[in-house]
Amino acid sequence: MAISVTLPKHGEGFEAELTVGDHVHLVLRAYLTGVGPVWSVHNVKTGEWVQEPDYAGDIDSAKEKAEAVAKAIARHLLKRAGSKEEVPQIVWQPL
């Protein structure tokens, strides 16, 4: 009897954008590499990494870590700008 196992392909994963007014525009990624799941957060407005790619235990924890960092950064940027806007819910899309 043969057992079929489907492994995730390198590069598969998820992406989300977090935009709040003119103050915040972040891109979050959680994806698979040959050595494991990776997550990152990029600030589109500055063109810099908020969090360079880092490893996680699985794809769900990669998404959770990216969300936590992105929400904290968004709250910080909004507070610094004096904005009362709320950080919206993050919606992940498959890559």
pTM (two decimals): 0.87
Do the domain assignments include residue 29?
yes
How many domains does the structure of the chain reveal?
A: 1
DSSP state of 57: S
User: What per-residue confidence (pLDDT) applies to 4?
Assistant: 57
User: What per-residue confidence (pLDDT) applies to 9?
Assistant: 63
User: What per-residue confidence (pLDDT) applies to 10?
Assistant: 59
Query: Residue 46: pLDDT above 80?
Result: yes
Residue type, 10: H
Q: Buried b vs exposed e over 12-40: b needs ≥16 C-beta within 10 Å? A: ebbebebebeebbbbbbbbbbeeeebbbb
Do the domain assignments include residue 62?
yes
Range of the domain at 19: 13-94
Angle in degrees, CA 55, 57, 61, rounded to 5? 90
